[in-house]
Amino acid sequence: MMQPPPAEPGMREEEVDTPALLLDLDAFEGNLDAMAALLAEHPVKLRAHAKTHKSPVIARLQMERGAIGQCVQKVAEAEVLAWGGIPDVMVTNQVWGARKLARLMALARISRVSVCTDDAAQVAAIEAAAEAAGVRIPVLVEIDVGAARCGVEPGPPAVELAERIAASRHLTFGGLQAYHGSAQHIRAPERRTETIAQAADAARRTVEQLRQRGLDCPVVGGAGTGTFRHEAASGVYTEIQAGSYAFMDADYARNEEAPPFRHALFVLATVMSAAQPHIAVVDAGHKAIPTDSGLPLVWDRPGVSYAGASDEHGKLTVEDPSLRPRLGEKLRLVPGHCDPTVDRFDWYVGVRKGRVESLWPVAARGAMA
């Protein structure tokens, strides 16, 4: 069941029912503008990652500022975007299974859809699905640029797979997917620089080898909020796949040279218990604000720490009892990791200058298939 919205337009922020997913619209729009300005200096395009926001509304706001399309991780996310009118959606992931591929091909009738692969058997399955649906789609080869997760080795194995795609009647070779996920969260800027330089070298070498075999590589995609300035300046990446930049989270802010974006996403929580002098308990535990990338921060309340999350309780501690939030008080929490936090809610509550301005559904909430 979809949960009812926790607010109505016009309400004051203090009236919003909790826990709620709050979007500070001034900060959010500022982040979208800042990314557009930063990328304008480079010959790259933004293909923003919708696994963060899961919203056709936000996708459209990104595209109004120059993004050429959207990325997703799952077919079910691609459906929500395509059904919501987004004209260009790339699945930056492998898709396995005839039912999922048939759903993806059905979308190719209403939007440009593309998908990644790292296996010849997957290429054959995608070709069969495209043929059955009577469509033709671009397929990218994912190369492992150091994250040791998905992707074939750069160089000859990637070229071989690209040739197989290009030789498939209902597929076109769409380019290289060269995302280094774990690099996003490396704390030291010089180590991030070095890691992405190596990834860019691997991509560049593969593009050259493709060219030697007569294959043009229209796209080299990758990058996230932690590293995009390096990929943008590399001269080899053509599409930047950042997502978190729109919201920012506590984990990205912990990088030594944090990205130039403001915290725009919060979980609004209420103090529901304050029975002990050094403890206040809020109604947002890790079911509301996942802790996979660390605990949340308490916004704008020096001396108050979010010290522990259980399922439905967030335990705030203070060293000085006079700083303890009072029973019933509403507090903004900065998520440790924005992506899974968004996916816990059905609604964005957009606020500006202390008032609720908009309600947008997290339309691809739970779209994991």
Binding site for its own copies (CB under 8 A): 1-3, 6, 17-19, 51, 73-74, 76, 80, 93-97, 99-100, 118-119, 121-122, 144, 148-152, 181, 270-276, 279, 281, 283-284, 286-288, 290-292, 309-313, 315, 327-328, 339-340, 343-346, 361, 363-369
- Find the shortest distance in angstroms from Cβ 292 to its own copies: 5
Considering the complex, state which of residue 253 and residue 307 has its C-beta at the smaller distance from its own copies.
307
Q: Which CB atom, from 38 or from 202, has the smaller least distance to its own copies? A: 202
Residues 265/335, Cβ–Cβ less than 8 Å: yes
The minimum distance between CB 59 and its own copies, in angstroms, equals: 16
Minimum CB distance to its own copies, residue 37 (Å): 27
- Please identify, using beta-carbon distances, which residue of 238 and 291 lies nearer to its own copies: 291
Which of 263, 365 has the CB closer to its own copies? 365
Smallest distance from its own copies to CB 33, Å: 26
Q: What is the longest distance spanned by two Cα atoms in the chain?
A: 72
Nearer to its own copies, 37 or 368 (CB): 368
CA–CA gap between residue 110 and residue 112 (Å, rounded): 7
The least CB distance from residue 307 to its own copies, in Å, is 10
